[in-house]
Chains A and B, each alone.
Chain A
Amino acid sequence: MLYREAGQFKTSYASDQAVFPILQDRVGILIILVIAFIGIPVTGNDFLINAVMIPFLIFSLAAIGLNLLTGYTGLLSLGTGAFMGVGAYACYKLTTVFPDVNIIIWVIVSGFFSAAVGAVFGLPSLRIKGFYLAIATLAAQFFLEWCFIRIPWLYNYNVSAAIEVPQRELFGIIITGPRASAQTRYLIVLTIVVAMTWMASNIVHGRIGRMWMAIRDMDIAAELMGIRLLPTKLLAFAVSSFYCGVAGAMLVFLWYGGAESTVFSINESFTILFMIIIGGLGSLLGSFLGAALIYILPIILRFVPPQLGLPLHAATVEHMTFMITGALIVFFLIAEPAGLARLWQIGKQKLRVWPFPY
């Protein structure tokens, strides 16, 4: 088989500590990146890019953010939607107050606002864990949602109470607003998501990732080993919220083009939470797989009946989609409660020892 690591000897700890120690994995990642950066923008149609790939990438980034907190640090949060909202509203305020600064910088900077808010709402995590912490973050969700509605300053006193994305350019190319092409927006989203995923992978493979996982697995032992719980947990909240904030800003500025507070409701939080549970807690790959299953699968299902020539009513298809997606989620969770990422791991292991069972 092609997937074999035999003969790939590590002669230094540096190469053994690499994120992808196996050559085939590195090649695989490279191929995926080439397809994503060149293949899809060149060959893909507007629908694929605008309705599938852009939201998939944005939700993946938000899922990574939540996964850093819930999957790696073991802190359950239901405030993801609100933290995404903080990013979006911060970006809107920043770009309307300082229109001359490049929008991409503001998208990233808005993450810091979200990180600060997240760290504040992470304070209860020192005392409470599990479901109780989830309820505490629920307070963040409701409070911030209330702010998005009741503080008109946040949406510049718009009559519609919505934020509308103004047109912004980068090197003379329109990148936000209604006239920006899907390809441009896709490439920007992809670049940001790839860069931030790479950084997330660096964090979780290093000292900070080990500190987070130590707290997740056994906080008492972690504390007795010199890991200070509060700063480490707050760092997890801040980094996680940063990711969610950037995802939220991109959601509005590079996809929707405008948004109301309802976009960042509790439903959004649950959707992202489902993505990481199905994809795999504590796995970056799982964040992508979960986002794909929850977001892309319904789109695909919607297109199957017309392709097969089944004369189904649009509403019926819609209902069927919900049912099939739900059934598949249940199926995957029963097949592998640890998520799709674990299925992938098992598959790789099988491939590695093929044709023998072990």
Chain B
Amino acid sequence: MRATGGPEAAVGDVLLSVENVSLSFGGVKAVSDVSFDIRKGEIRAIIGPNGAGKTSMLNVINGFYHPQHGRITFKGETRARMRPHEAAYGGIARTFQNVALFRGMTALDNIMAGRTLKMHTSFFWQLFRYGPAMREEVDHRHRVEEIIDFLKIQEIRRVPVGRLPYGLQKRVELGRALAMEPELLLLDEPMAGMNLEEKEDMSRFVLDVNDHYGTTIALIEHDMGVVMDLSDRVVVLDHGIKIADGTPDEVKRNQAVIDAYLGVAH
């Protein structure tokens, strides 16, 4: 349970709701008939054993997969199909399970690239890098520097991200997602492959993002300690089916969840 906030803080309007979503690849059912909602300002965890359909669920939310059935309502707008860039413009940002940074670019450029959809100067001004184009560049650099300070990655600004250690790459990727100023931030296993110290750092950043920017966060995570500590509410998937939904304490006591994680005696 989170120390600050508590359940009251989680009670906001529904930001995103997923209703009866089913997704299958050929004969394989990745997600079947799953419904849940994400409220404004909360940290919502999606957990489940391997192959439960968690990442597929995120891919559905940000428009990368199109579900065969079901509806997704984001900010009051219901949609059946959406392109990923439309999701981005709508305010959904995302990090990846395997870091998906732009490896040839510096950390600074990666985060600047996250500002792309906020930048509008025409090709003409870009040609001369002068006037509006330069002003825009500097304005956004200010915002990016705020994020760099926030994530404490000042000294690796100019380093091509391919050369950074894994933990820092994850942090730069979080920064790139934050640069989009999202309303909903999807984190796909932000702590995967980290040691305890890095996990603590990353958890702190996730909480800070939620507090400081008021960003709603949906995260997938395997570390139960992290999930139970960070999240306001948890949804549990197993084999593409929702088996539990509620506060961390409720979920912890749920028999179906215990069975899914520990197995059932036959």
Residues of A within 8 A of B (CB): 12-14, 16-17, 19, 199, 202-203, 205-208, 210-211, 213-214, 216-218, 220-228, 235, 282
Contact (Cβ within 8 A) B176 A225: yes
Interchain pairs with CB closer than 8 A, number: 105
Q: Which residues of B contact A210 (CB under 8 A)?
A: 105, 109, 112-113, 116
By secondary structure, the B interface counts as: helix
A17-B138 in contact (CB<8A): yes
Shortest C-beta distance, A188 to chain B (Å), equals 20
Give chain A residues whose Cβ lies under 8 Å from the Cβ of B47. none
From A12, A206, A221, A224, contact of B133 by CB (8 A):
A206
Contact at A224–B88, with CB atoms within 8 Å?
Answer: yes
Which of B121-129, B198-206, B209-217, B229-237 has 4 or more CB atoms under 8 Å from chain A? B121-129
B178 nearest CB across to chain A (Å):
12
Q: Which residues of A contact B109 (CB under 8 A)?
A: 210, 213
- Rank and list the top 5 A-B pairs by shortest CB-CB distance, nearest first: A226-B88, A226-B117, A217-B102, A202-B129, A221-B100
Assess the A225–B93 pair: CB atoms within 8 A: yes
- Nearest residue (CB) in A for B89 is A226
- Pairwise interchain contact A17-B102, C-beta atoms closer than 8 A: no
Residues of B within 8 A of A235 (CB): 123
| Pair B102/A218 contact, Cβ less than 8 Å | yes
Q: Residue-by-residue, is B173-202 near A (CB-CB < 8 Å gives 1, otherwise 0)? A: 000100010000000000000000000000
Q: Which residue of A lies closest to B186 (CB)?
A: A224
Q: Which chain B residues lie closer than 8 Å to A205 at the CB level?
A: 129
Q: Which residues between 118 and 145 of chain B lie within 8 Å of chain A, taking CB atoms?
A: 119, 121, 123, 126-129, 133-134, 136-138, 141-142, 145
> What's the nearest-Cβ distance from chain A to residue B136, in Å?
8
- What count of chain B residues pass the 8 Å CB interface test? 39
- Is B32 in contact with chain A by the CB < 8 A criterion? no
Tell me the smallest distance from the CB of B4 to a CB of chain A, in Å. Answer: 30
Is B248 engaged at the interface, CB distance under 8 Å to the other chain?
Answer: no
Question: Can you name 6 A-B residue pairings with CB atoms under 8 Å?
Answer: A202-B127, A202-B129, A205-B129, A218-B100, A225-B180, A227-B116
- CB neighbors of A among B64-112 (8 A): 64, 84-85, 87-89, 93-94, 96, 100-105, 109, 112
* CB pair A213 B142 closer than 8 Å: no
**Is A282's CB under 8 angstroms from B88's CB?**
no
CB of B128 within 8 A of CB of A202, answer: yes
B62 lies within 8 A of chain A by Cβ: yes
Name the contact of B137 in the complex, choosing from A199, A206, A218, A221 (C-beta under 8 A).
A206
B114 within 8 A of A: yes
Given A217-B102, A226-B88, the answer on whether A208 and B126 have CB atoms closer than 8 Å is yes
Cα(A242)–Cα(B96), bound, Å: 36
Q: How far is the CA of A216 from the CA of B62 in the complex (A)?
A: 21
Flag if B123 contacts A208 (CB, 8 Å). yes
B96 and A221: CB pair below 8 A?
yes
- Identify the closest chain B residue to A196 (Cβ): B127
B102 contacts A213, CB within 8 Å?
yes
Q: Is the CB of B117 within 8 A of A206?
A: no
Judging by beta carbons under 8 Å apart, are B102 and A199 in contact?
no
Cβ-closest chain B residue relative to A223: B84
In the bound complex, CA of A328 to CA of B117 (Å): 44
Residue of A whose beta carbon sits closest to that of B96 = A221
Q: Are A221 and B89 in contact (CB under 8 A)?
A: no
Nearest A residue (CB) for B133: A206
| Contacts A13-B142, A14-B138, A203-B126 given; does A218 touch B84 at CB 8 Å | no
Residues of B within 8 A of A208 (CB): 123, 126
